[in-house]
Structure 1
Amino acid sequence: MRFSVFGTGFWSNYQIPAWQELDGVELVAVYNRTRSRAEDVAARFGVPRVFDNPQQLLDAETLDFVDIITDVDTHPLFTRMAAERGIGVICQKPMAPSLPLAEEMVQVCRTAGVPLFIHENFRWQAPIRALKQALDSGVIGQPFKARVSFCSGFPVFDNQPFLAELERFILTDIGSHVLDVCRFLFGEARSLYCLTRRVNPTIQGEDVANVFMEMESGLHCYAEMSYASILEKESFPQTLVLVEGERGSLHLTYDFVLKTTTRQGTTAETIRPVLYDWLDPDYAVVHSSIVDCNRDILHGLRGGRAETTGEDNLRTVRLVWASYQSAEHQELVRF
Structure 2
Amino acid sequence: MSDSKIRIACVGAGYFAQYHIEAWTRVSNVELVAICDIDTEKAQKLADKYQVPKVYKGIETLLEDSVVDFIDIITPPSTHADLINRISQKGIHIICQKPFTRSLAEARVMVKLAHARKVSLFIHENFRFQPWYGKIKELKDQGILGGLHNVQLKLRTGDGWGDDAYLNRQPYFRKMPRLFMYETGIHYIDVFRYLHGEIVEVYAKLGTFNANIKGEDHALVVFTFTDGTTALLDANRYNESNTDDPRYTFGKITLEGRKGVIYLESDSSLFYKPLGEDPVNVDYVRSNVNFAGDCVYHAQSAMMKSYREQFDFETRAEVYLRNMVVLEAVYKSAATNQPVRV
TM-score by length of structure 1 reads 0.93
The structural deviation recorded for 1:90 is: 0.2
Output the amino acid matched with 2:328.
W
Structure 2 residue 95 is the aligned partner of structure 1 residue 90: yes
How many angstroms apart in 2 are the aligned matches of 1:18 and 1:233? Answer: 26
Q: 2:286 is matched with which residue?
A: 273
Contact 2:246–2:266 at 8 Å: present in 1 too? no
State the superposition RMSD in angstroms: 1.6
How many angstroms apart in 2 are the aligned matches of 1:112 and 1:137? Answer: 41
Q: 1:28 to 1:219 in 2, by over 3 A?
A: same
| Aligned counterparts, 1:272-311, within 5 A | 273-276=286-289, 279=290, 283-285=291-293, 288-302=294-308, 303-311=310-318
Contact 2:28–2:301 at 8 Å: present in 1 too? no
| Aligned counterparts, 1:84-123, within 5 A | 84-123=89-128
Instruction: Classify the secondary structure of the residue corresponding to 1:255.
Output: coil
**What is the number of residues matched between the two proteins?**
328
Identity %: 28
The one of 172, 180, 190 equivalent to 1:180 is: 190
Instruction: Classify the secondary structure of the residue corresponding to 2:52.
Output: coil
Q: 1:318 is matched with which residue?
A: 325
Deviates more, 1:258-267 or 1:126-135: 258-267
Contact 1:153–1:229 at 8 Å: present in 2 too? yes
How many angstroms apart in 2 are the aligned matches of 1:236 and 1:56? Answer: 40
CA deviations over 1:170-193 (Å, ceiling 9, x no partner): 011111211111111111111111
Contact 2:306–2:312 at 8 Å: present in 1 too? yes
The one of 242, 246, 260 equivalent to 1:248 is: 260
How many angstroms apart in 1 are the aligned matches of 2:195 and 2:259? Answer: 18
Q: Answer 1 or 2: which has greater helix percent.
A: 1
| Aligned counterparts, 1:1-335, within 5 A | 1-154=6-159, 157=166, 158-233=168-243, 236-237=246-247, 238=249, 239-263=251-275, 265=277, 266-269=279-282, 271=284, 273-276=286-289, 279=290, 283-285=291-293, 288-302=294-308, 303-335=310-342
How many angstroms apart in 1 are the aligned matches of 2:306 and 2:36? Answer: 24
Output the amino acid matched with 2:201.
S
Contact 1:257–1:271 at 8 Å: present in 2 too? no
How many angstroms apart in 1 are the aligned matches of 2:234 and 2:82? Answer: 32
Output the amino acid matched with 1:301.
Y
Contact 2:254–2:262 at 8 Å: present in 1 too? yes
How many angstroms apart in 1 are the aligned matches of 2:151 and 2:182? Answer: 22
Contact 2:93–2:121 at 8 Å: present in 1 too? yes
Q: 1:306 to 1:2 in 2, by over 3 A?
A: same
Q: 1:197 to 1:270 in 2, by over 3 A?
A: farther
Output the amino acid matched with 2:339.
L
Structure 1, unaligned stretches of length 5 or more?
A: none
Instruction: Classify the secondary structure of the residue corresponding to 1:118.
Output: strand
The structural deviation recorded for 1:271 is: 4.5
The structural deviation recorded for 1:235 is: 6.0
Instruction: Classify the secondary structure of the residue corresponding to 1:254.
Output: coil
Contact 1:8–1:69 at 8 Å: present in 2 too? yes
Q: 1:81 to 1:219 in 2, by over 3 A?
A: same
The structural deviation recorded for 1:254 is: 2.4
Structure 2, unaligned stretches of length 5 or more?
A: 1-5
Contact 1:146–1:243 at 8 Å: present in 2 too? yes
